[in-house]
Amino acid sequence: MKVNILVVQTPPLLRLQMRANPKLFKIRKHSVTLHKSNTFLIKSFHIGSRFNISLKVRKESQKDVDWYKNMIKLSFYLSGMGKRVRRARGCVMLYDSKEMTVDQTKAEILTLLNKITDSNPEISNPIYILDKNEIKPTVLSQQYNKTEKRPLIQKIVFGKNFNEEKLNGYLRKVDEAGHWIKKQQKETDVDPTGDKDLASAIIVSLTKIGTDYLPIYTYVKAIYKREEYDVELSRRSEFQNMIERKEMKK
In sequence order, the 6+-apart residues with CB closer than 8 A to the CB of 105 are 77, 97, 207, 209, 214
The whole-model pTM stands at: 0.83
Q: What is the pLDDT tens value at each position of the chain, 250 positions in all?
A: 555 566 666 656 677 777 777 776 667 676 666 666 566 677 777 777 788 887 777 666 556 778 888 888 999 999 988 878 888 888 888 775 557 899 999 999 999 999 888 755 555 567 899 998 999 988 767 766 777 788 889 999 999 999 999 998 899 898 888 877 776 666 546 667 766 567 788 999 999 888 899 999 999 988 888 888 888 888 899 989 989 985 444 4
Gyration radius (Cα) of the chain, Å: 19
User: Residue 123: enclosing H or E segment and its boundaries?
Assistant: none
DSSP 55-85: EEESS--HHHHHHHHHHHHHHHHH-BSSTTT
CA dihedral 72, 78, 82, 86 (to 10 degrees): -160
* φ, ψ for residue 218, nearest 5 deg: -105, 120
Residue pair 127/114 in contact by the 8 Å Cβ criterion: yes
